[in-house]
């Protein structure tokens, strides 16, 4: 049996972290009005697909690193808009000219777990891109 490399372990670990955090965000927002809004509905559906891709990519990460990297890139990109909307609702409203019946108190909504989720998605994107480039590089070490 082949020993797991450090890259595969890091990629699988960040996948588990992203899976749990993105699922948490979707689970909190799922039964609310958030999932049916003009802007938030599509964002929620994208994030839903994102955590499902993290779930699918986890067993793939152990055996097929290149395929898992592509799956995790897609999952990170699909999940990031909803999480960034939770953290930065004012900027999304300005970007999409959304009309709200409730005025915003601030453009930034600091929720520590949402910020951690956002950072974990960025790390997942970076590691997946790095692993994909390293897999394509014939001069790689180890």
94-103 mean pLDDT = 69
Q: What is the number of alpha carbons within 13 Å of residue 107 lying toward its C-beta?
A: 6
Percent share of the chain, pLDDT over 70: 78
pLDDT digits (tens, 9 = 90+) for 99-142: 666 676 777 778 888 899 999 999 999 989 988 887 666 665 54
126 is written with which tokens?
A: 């970076």
Q: Does pTM top 0.85 for this prediction?
A: no
10 is written with which tokens?
A: 């890091």
Helix ranges, the chain (H): 6-29, 40-63, 65-87, 89-95, 112-136
Spatial separation of the C-alpha atoms in residues 62 and 80, rounded to whole Å? 24
**Spatial CA neighbour of 44 closest among 31, 54, 58, 55:** 31
């Amino acid at each position: 049996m082949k020993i797991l490399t450090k890259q595969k372990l890091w990629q699988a670990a960040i996948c588990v972290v992203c899976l749990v955090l993105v699922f948490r965000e979707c689970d909190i927002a799922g039964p609310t009005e958030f999932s049916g809004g003009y802007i938030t509905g599509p964002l929620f559906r994208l994030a839903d697909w994102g955590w499902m891709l993290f779930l699918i990519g986890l067993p793939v990460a152990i055996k097929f690193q290149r395929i898992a990297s592509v799956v995790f890139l897609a999952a990170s990109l699909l999940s990031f808009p909803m999480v960034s909307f939770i953290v930065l609702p004012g900027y999304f409203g300005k970007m999409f000219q959304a009309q709200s019946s409730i005025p915003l108190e601030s453009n930034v909504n600091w929720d520590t777990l949402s910020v951690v989720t956002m950072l974990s998605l960025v790390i997942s994107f970076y590691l997946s891109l790095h692993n994909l480039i390293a897999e394509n590089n014939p001069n790689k070490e180890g």
